[in-house]
Each structure stands twice: as structure tokens, then as C-alpha cells.
Structure 1
């Protein structure tokens, strides 16, 4: 199978060494780092950062992305905005140490439709783009249903508004589904040329409620989605979110990973 498959480590455990061991055992090639040892990646010490690198190297894996929470604040929070620009600087600094040329960014908490906030959002992104350009690191916007940009339509609208080569897409079909969009084929078509990274989780509506499911057991057409992604260089990074009846993170991630691999094999064969 010629796919770059990764897992976000804290979906297994905050014990980073254990999470990476499980990721290796499952057969993934990449690990994505968000929270470890009860802190976000941007809050680790130099020695902890070195330890993180050593653990990943020990298991022969590659770090695909470092996930800060940049701009998961309200758009008019001036103090928070200044703090988050510093968080962005920090995650870029750490990413460059790993030769990673992009980092994930959000679009502020949802307070209403994008059309009412798009000018302010573009203005807020100016400083972030300046930082990205000076550091040579691309900012990939994750479509997040709790933020101002949750759907591919909103992504397309915002990308067309800011017109910066330093802004690309972290495509999350599960988040698009939660934002009441059909992730594939319609949504994907709008942003496919701007994707740099992917987060994979499955979802469905059950009795009127949106719930996370193991990959392959939800309502998202992942067979079609992965067929469209065949041969692309992106890392497909599992972000399970699904929890089994026992609320066991590791077992839930394993179930989802097995579902993901099953679909990738079907698409590849």
C-alpha cells in the first residue's frame, strides 16, 4: 500500500512513548503531535522536545505535523490575539527544527456566518501571513465546525478573499460533515487544489444527533474520497474522535485505524 498514514498521538494516550509504540505496532508511518504529557506541543521544554524527537526516531516514524491551537479564540479578543501570534511563532519555530514546512491554524470561534466576519478575519490573518512568509512556513487552515470557517465553501470564500500562497488547507471531511456539508464529492471539489494535509474521522447522524464513528462505519464516502486522493503526497492523519462504549481511547483508535486501512486496501487493489 503506497499511502502515508499517520495518527494523532493524543487520540491514543498523553503518554507519548506509549502512543508512539502503539502507532508503530499498528503499522502507520507518521505521528502527528498535538498534546503530550498533559500539555500542548507549544508548551514543552527544550528537553521534552528532544525527548519527543528521540522517541519518534527510536520507532522509525516521521512527525507529520505539530498542532497548536492558534486562533481558537474569539475574533475580538485583543489580548488573546497577541498571545496567539506568539503561539504561532513558537509552533513555527518547532516545526522548522523538524523540517516541517507547514503548520495548522484555525479561524476563531464561530459567532455567526462568515460573511459578517470575513473582512475582520482577513485583517486578523495579515500578521499571521507576515510571520509565515518571513519564516517560509505555510499556514494550513483546518475547517473546524466550531470556528468561522467550517465548510469547504467557507474555505473557498476565505482563500479567494486573502489570495496568499502562504495559506493552504488542512482538509477534515469529518468536520465538514458536522458543519452540515457533504464532504465528498462536492466539498472536496472546491478545495482539492489547495490541500496540504488531511485529518480523517468518520461521523453519522443518529436520532438527530451528530456522532463520531469508527472510520468506515459512518456516513462519509471515504471510498470515494480516498480514490480521489490516490497518488497524492499528503499524509492521511487519523484523528479518531470516536470513543467506544468503554470510552477506551486506544481501543477506539485501533478500531478506527483498522477501518481506515481496510478502505485504503480496497481502493488500492
Structure 2
């Protein structure tokens, strides 16, 4: 049976890492994706906080699947090098917490500019990100967040293929594609599968953009997951439910709703013969 590694955004559960880890463990996960702890973003955690977080994770005999950084979630026309500073902080967190992956984004743009008009600026910055990642021996996974340059499959492919670095890969998110009018499997799977390294799990309703548990929306989750199974995917599947609230820097679900999201995803994977471990 095909096996994928279950993980999830801890701060979707609770601000306290102890609660985050307890809930994930109860759901059968042995990994956590770190976006924030104690209401502090991962790129702003002090050395002492990173040490405390590492100790808590080790104490649960768990590991970190990815650093869910906010790098690249700024207007590209106002970016003055601060994102490289934040990426260095994310790299330090990845090294301290033993993670190979760091999530990043590809910049917002002002309303008066088209995606084509910011392309060169985006690619210049993404190349710099990849250079840093290569030297630091980490892998950046670009999330297709709505309203950034890489929010549709064609521009995600443009970023990864134009930069051409083994340190820049794709974090696939069905719900985010739905929220920009994309049918994830039909419109993007074949194009992006060669670059797909990391799976983020949530779903959404096309008509409203509302985020729902996996399989309850228009994200073509069953078709996507079945194709990944058949293609031999064996990586992480990271729960990011956003069932209670969502905002520019993330979302929240709480323990009960996070559990509901986990059960919905488990039902889907069980139905196609994929085991979560």
C-alpha cells in the first residue's frame, strides 16, 4: 500500500506548541509544520524559543516537516531586501528544527500592475532565494497562494522552470487554486506534477471561495490524490484546514475543526488505498 507522511500546521490548532503537538499526535501524525508558536511567527522566534520548541518536538518523539515561512508575502514593488533577511531566519529555524523544507511565496503586486509587468522583478528575487537555499542545503517549496504572481499553474511553472534550481520546488494547494478560478487537477496537475514536492491539504467551494474539509469542495481532491498515488508520490501531506478563520498570513481551525479536517482527509486517502503514517 502507498504511504504518505501526515503532518499539519500546528498553529491551526492552538498557539501553544504543547497543544499543537498533542493534537497532531492524537491524530496519528509524527510530524508538524511550523508557522508560528506562542503567537510568534517562525521567522521571529528567538534562539531561546527555537530551543524550547525543538525540545517540545523531541519530547513527543516527533519531527518538523517544513518551516511555513511568510517569505514572499509582500508587494514586490516595495521589497527592498527584507525578504532575504526573513529567509535567512527561516533557514536558521529549519536548521535548528531539523527540517529540509521551507515554504515561500512569489509576491503580491499593486492593483495597477499586471502579472506580466512584475515578472522580471519576481524572478530576480526568486533566483536570489534559490541561491540562498542551495548554499544552505534546504529546499524551498512555493505555495500557490491567491493573488501572488504564482497563483495559477502557468505562472507557478514559469517561476520554477525559469529559475531552474533543484532548491525551488512546488507546494501544491488545491483550495488556493479553486479560489482563483482554477480547476486544480484539470488545469494544473500535468503541468506541475514534475515539480511537485509537497502537498498541502484543504479544499474550497468555487462559487464562494469558502474553505471546507478535503473532498467537500470543488478542489478535485479525489482525482488529484489518486493521480499522486499512481505517480508514486510518497511525501508529506500537510493539513492546513482554515476552517474557523483565514487571513493574509494564515488561518485557524482549533482542535475540534482540525480533527474534522483530518478525518475527512483520512476518509479520502483510505478510499483510494493510501495509508497515512
TM-score normalised over the length of structure 2: 0.88
Give CA-to-partner distance per residue, 1:134-186, whole Å, 9 cap, x none. Answer: 21222211111131110112111222322223221111111111111111143
Give CA-to-partner distance per residue, 1:41-93, whole Å, 9 cap, x none. Answer: 11112222122112222222221001111111111114xx3221111011112
Is there any run of 5+ residues in structure 1 with no aligned partner, and where?
none
1:4, 1:55 → 2: CA distance? 20
C-alpha displacement of 1:266: 0.5
* Structure number with higher relative contact order (C-alpha < 8 Å, ≥ 6 residues apart): 2
2:253, 2:130 → 1: CA distance? 39
1:248, 1:8 → 2: CA distance? 10
Q: Report the counterpart of residue 142 of structure 1 in structure 2.
A: 143
2:238, 2:203 → 1: CA distance? 12
Q: Report the counterpart of residue 250 of structure 1 in structure 2.
A: 255
Q: Report the counterpart of residue 54 of structure 1 in structure 2.
A: 55
2:69, 2:49 → 1: CA distance? 16
1:75 aligns with 2:57: no
C-alpha contact (below 8 Å) 1:113/1:148 kept by paired residues: no
1:103, 1:77 → 2: CA distance? 23
1:185, 1:217 → 2: CA distance? 17
Q: Report the counterpart of residue 199 of structure 1 in structure 2.
A: 200
Is there any run of 5+ residues in structure 2 with no aligned partner, and where?
246-251
TM-score normalised over the length of structure 1: 0.91
Q: Secondary structure at the match of 2:272?
A: helix
C-alpha contact (below 8 Å) 1:185/1:225 kept by paired residues: no
C-alpha contact (below 8 Å) 1:173/1:220 kept by paired residues: yes
1:236, 1:185 → 2: CA distance? 20
1:239 aligns with 2:240: yes
1:227 aligns with 2:226: yes
2:162, 2:116 → 1: CA distance? 11
Q: Report the counterpart of residue 249 of structure 2 in structure 1.
A: none
1:252, 1:98 → 2: CA distance? 27
Q: Report the counterpart of residue 23 of structure 1 in structure 2.
A: 24
Number of equivalences: 263
> Aligned-residue CA RMSD in angstroms?
1.9
C-alpha contact (below 8 Å) 1:69/1:105 kept by paired residues: yes
1:167 aligns with 2:171: no
Give CA-to-partner distance per residue, 1:76-125, whole Å, 9 cap, x none. Answer: 114xx322111101111221233423311111114354222111211222
C-alpha displacement of 1:216: 1.9
Q: Secondary structure at the match of 2:205?
A: strand
Q: Report the counterpart of residue 9 of structure 2 in structure 1.
A: 8
Q: Please, which moves more after superposition, 86-95 or 98-107?
A: 98-107
Q: Report the counterpart of residue 267 of structure 1 in structure 2.
A: 272
